[in-house]
Amino acid sequence: MTLSCNAVFEGGGVKGVAIAGAVLGMEKAGYTFSNLAGTSAGAIVAALLSAGYSGKEIHNLLSNLNYKKFRDKSYFCGLMGKAVTLTLKYGLYPGDYFTNWLDDLLKAKGVRTFGDIKQPNAKLDKYTYKFQAIASDISSQRLLVLPSDLKYFGINPDKFSISQAVRMSMSIPLLFVPFKLKDIKGNIHLIVDGAVLSNYPVWLLDDDTLNPKQPTFGFKLLEADNNITWQCNKIQITGLYDYLKKLLNTMLEAHDNYYSAHAKGDVARTIAIPTTVNLPGETPKNISAIDFDITFQESVALFNNGFNAATTFLRTWDFEIWKNNYRELLRNRSQKYPPV
């Protein structure tokens, strides 16, 4: 039996392989993806799916990937050189290796621009393109949904490169140089990781009706012993590097953790994927977004976490029950208090 759904994938850097595992779990259960959206690593998985890659193919690509290559050659060498690069470029790495890597993978499926994944007869404008990437315009301090928001820059979405959009979405602040876009007035905008404003926009693909025809699932990455509704770890900060790492994690996660804790129905449609790996003979290890030295064994363990999370979630998932619990209330309220 084939089942259709929408999917929104959270960002998570090198942890994206766990999302690929969850995708394979969904595919094994008979699901296909009608509309896709993602932030950062989630945008990578969503872009590859939109081009025609399967969950298994994405797993093979990500688990064998040398993430160190994403740290492409900095503009200046040495510690002082990196300080100069941060001062002048606002990031350490150009991101060219990543852009070319993704572009080559998309081209292998005959896909390059958003026009190649345009969906004919889309019922809503938000479904015009099979895939959407989330980015943050820090110059205008606003969330960007690509490709639709390219209109503010006078750019035809059909002609815009998907790999460039994903490059914007995965531009982790300080690590990668911000992407630059010029608006129709000639002003330069700096675009960075979508997670700065929304790492988990599970609401994005909702059809805005009280009786949706297909579910929208969210795929969220969680540290060990945390729950979806509220993540709160008491972690000692021991130095500047630790401080900057925790500051970055807080910036990327806090808003969406709060939203998920208070939104009606979002937790119930979220596939929570643990990012802690347990390898034989080793202490359990939580994989962070910037663990570019991740091993093949850790990558496989993350993938299995995702697969198991999706399989477990689907055992109890019931779309009709979800609608009755979280959309029937809205329907009754709208009938009792019709809009003026």
Residue 155 tokens, joined: 């750019």
The H or E element that residue 212 is part of is none
Closest of 187, 205, 143, 200 to residue 168, by C-alpha? 143
- Distances in Å between the Cα of 140 and the Cα atoms of 28, 65, 136, 229 are 42, 34, 9, 30
Q: Which residues contact 152 (CB under 8 A, 6 or more apart)?
A: 183, 184
Residues contacting 68, CB < 8 A, separation 6+: 292, 293
> Per DSSP, what are the bridge partners of residue 38?
9, 133
For β-strands 188-193 and 131-137, DSSP reports them as: antiparallel
Whole-angstrom distance, CA of residue 128 vs CA of residue 119: 5
Q: Are the CB atoms for 159 and 116 separated by under 8 Å?
A: no
- Whole-angstrom CA distances from 199 to 3, 31, 47, 91, 135 are 26, 24, 16, 20, 9
The total of other beta-carbon atoms located within 10 Å of residue 267's CB is 18
- Residue 288 a catalytic site member: no
Annotated catalytic residue 193: yes
Query: Quick check: 271 and 218 in contact, CB under 8 A?
Result: yes
Q: Residue 28 CB: number of other CB atoms within 10 A?
A: 14
Distance CA 230, CA 228 (A): 6
Contact (CB, 8 A) for 151 and 140: no
Catalytic residue among 50, 137, 171, 193: 193
Residues classed as catalytic: 40, 193
